Amino acid sequence: MSDRDADVGGLQDHSLGNEIVGRIAELGGISQSKEHLARLFLTREHRAAADLIVSWMREAGMRARLDAIGNVCGRYEGERPGLPCLMLGSHYDTVVDAGKWDGPLGLITAISCVADLNRRGRRLPFAIEVVGFADEEGVRFASTLLGSRAVAGTFDESALNSRDRGGMTLRQAIADFGLDPDHIGAAARTRRELLGYLELHIEQGPVLEERSLPVGVVTAIAGATRLSARLTGMAGHAGTVPMALRRDALTGAAEAICAIEEFCRTDHGGLVGTVGYIHALPGATNVIPGQVSFTMDIRAPTDPHRKRAVTDIVRQLEAIAGRRNLALQLNVTHENRTVPCAPWLKTQIAEAIAAEGLPVFELPSGAGHDGMAMIDVADVGMIFVRCRGGISHHPDEHVELADADTGARVLLRVIENFRPQPAV
Ligand code: GLV
Ligand code: MN
Ligand code: MN
């Protein structure tokens, strides 16, 4: 069966998909750089995006506001005001040189679903809240999920003192954004207010495409550990210091990076490790690098596997630094356990997919998502939408209109047929 065969009814009315794709392009046009898409947490462009999302939420019949960390929060009341809500969401920050779909697809789709209910005057026996999380990627302040942690009530106040690469504190950046960093506590929600948390997201991998399926049910979100490393040697003259006497921090980092790659490559159990950022000082052609900072991102299908790998990698880095007479400083900047999706939400997503006439397929998420934080305050369910070539965190990221539309129809069905988990 081809992927298009999997669409129900031949010719489709892609009305939700059209709106979603148009808005993806509009939001994707808000960027710090003309050359590529970058919309980092608490920048001017991030604020412009938040204002646009607020306007879409209001147009969809929601009350909308920003909370103190910059999450865009919309609420569509149920049959009567004040009912507990089904929360839908995804993030509106991006990586650098990003695609347009990672985050915005889930957020925009959720808003379109609410707009559809509103157009039909449909109220449900529960409220719907849509949250555009302000920081999922963690590019600017090294720690990730700051938006969803604020909503889950697990925001660590000490993060307010962390600094971006330009030296600005998170506290100052929040104030410059027009918000009050002393009110982040007020963004926290309680388990009693939330019936569940549902997120639709692009798959960011090739599995659905390989199986010719437009959507899938997520089973779990893989945990991750992120570390920052600093190697310190001795800067010196590139022409005068003999090779044997050098303490070159950059060649030490190069050896460390290759060791990490080799360790993960030969693991064969799904371990992945990435060094995505490196900075060498003083950074001149004719000076031996005296200090190098780099980051590591380590993920594995299970938490014990990832923890063992991190311990082994740290040991290898210590050995390399020792052999080269370099000082090594390591910091864990982010650690998240693997988060299982709730079986009762998986069942309801599967029912909606089947009702669309599509095969039900389950797959895990190797990428991180806001559900990793939301699990502390609600059960989590996720729907994946196929993306072209499995490409993500790259400007070529792409979702076909028909798939965006299918994702929206599935999400709308889940919402309209949603049954809260019976109290146990
Ligand atoms: C978020 O996209 C992550 O998995 O790093
Ligand atoms: Mn991402
Ligand atoms: Mn994402």
pLDDT for the residue numbered 72? 98
- Mutational pocket test of ligand 1: of 137, 277, 397, the residue with most ligand atoms within 8 Å of the beta carbon: 137
Amino acid in position 276: G
- For the cut 90, the answer to whether the pLDDT of residue 300 exceeds it is yes
Task: Kindly indicate the confidence band of residue 12, based on its pLDDT and cuts at 50, 70 and 90.
Answer: low
**Sequence-separated (6 or more) residues with CB below 8 Å from residue 30:** 39, 45, 48, 49, 52
Closest to 229 measured CA to CA, from 330, 334, 317? 330
Residue 137, ligand 1, Cβ within 6 A: yes
Q: Give the ligand with the smallest distance to the CA of 89.
A: 3
Cα of 418 from ligand 2 centre, angstroms: 28
Q: 360-376: per-residue pLDDT in tens?
A: 999 999 999 999 999 99
Instruction: Note the pLDDT tens digit of each residue in 319-374.
Output: 999 999 999 999 999 899 999 999 999 999 999 999 999 999 999 999 999 999 99
pTM beyond 0.95: the answer is: no
Pick the closest to residue 177 from 66, 251, 35 (CA basis).
Answer: 66
The separation between the first and the last C-alpha atoms of the chain, rounded to the nearest angstrom, is 42
What are the tens digits of pLDDT across the range 170-197? 999 999 999 999 999 999 999 999 999 9
Rounded Cα gap, residues 206 and 229, in angstroms = 31
Which tokens in the block code for residue 180? 């009050």
> Which H, E and C letters describe the chain, residue by residue?
CCCCCCCCCCCCCCHHHHHHHHHHHHHHCCCCCCCCCECCCCCHHHHHHHHHHHHHHHHCCCEEEECCCCCEEEEECCCCCCCCEEEEEEECCCCECCCCCCCHHHHHHHHHHHHHHHHCCCCCCCEEEEEEECCCCCCCCCCCCHHHHHHHCCCCHHHHHCECCCCCEHHHHHHHHCCCHHHHHHHCCCHHHEEEEEEEEECCCCHHHHCCCCEEEEEEECCEEEEEEEEECECEECCCCCHHHCECHHHHHHHHHHHHHHHHHCCCCCCEEECCCEEEECCCCCEECCEEEEEEEEECCCHHHHHHHHHHHHHHHHHHHHHCCCEEEEEEEEEECCEECCHHHHHHHHHHHHHCCCCCCEEEECCCCCHHHHCCCCCEEEEEECCHHHCCCCCCCCCCHHHHHHHHHHHHHHHHCCCCCCCC
Nearest CA to ligand 1 atom 3: 368
Query: Is residue 367 in contact with ligand 1, taking CB distance under 6 Å?
Result: yes
Q: Given a cut of 80, is residue 11 above it in pLDDT?
A: no
Nearest atom in ligand 1 to 137's CA: 1
Smallest CA separation from ligand 1 atom 5, residue: 368
Q: Tell me the ligand closest to 297's alpha carbon.
A: 1
The reported pLDDT for the residue numbered 14 is 77
Q: Which pLDDT score is estimated for 142? A: 74
Q: Which atom of ligand 1 is nearest to the CA of 392?
A: 2
Per the prediction, the chain carries an average pLDDT of 95
Indicate which atom in ligand 1 lies nearest the CA of residue 297: 5
Q: Which residue is it, tokens 């049910």?
A: 217
Are 328 and 231 within 8 A, CB to CB?
yes
Q: How far is the CA of 107 from the centre of ligand 3 (A)?
A: 10
pLDDT score for 144? 86
Distance 136 CA to ligand 2 centre (A): 7
pLDDT band for position 6 (50/70/90)? very low
> What is the average pLDDT across 295-308?
95
pLDDT digits (tens, 9 = 90+) for 237-271: 999 999 999 999 999 999 999 999 999 999 988 89
Q: Distance, CA 103 to ligand 3 centroid (Å)?
A: 4
For the chain, what percent of residues have pLDDT higher than 90?
93
Please say whether the beta carbons of 299 and 372 come within 8 A: no
**Per-residue pLDDT reduced to its tens digit, 147-170:** 999 999 999 999 999 999 999 999
User: CA 52, 58, 62, 66: dihedral to nearest 10 degrees?
Assistant: 40
Whether residue 424 is predicted with pLDDT greater than 70 in this model: the reply is no
139 CB under 6 A from ligand 1? no
**Ligand nearest 90 Cα, by number?**
3
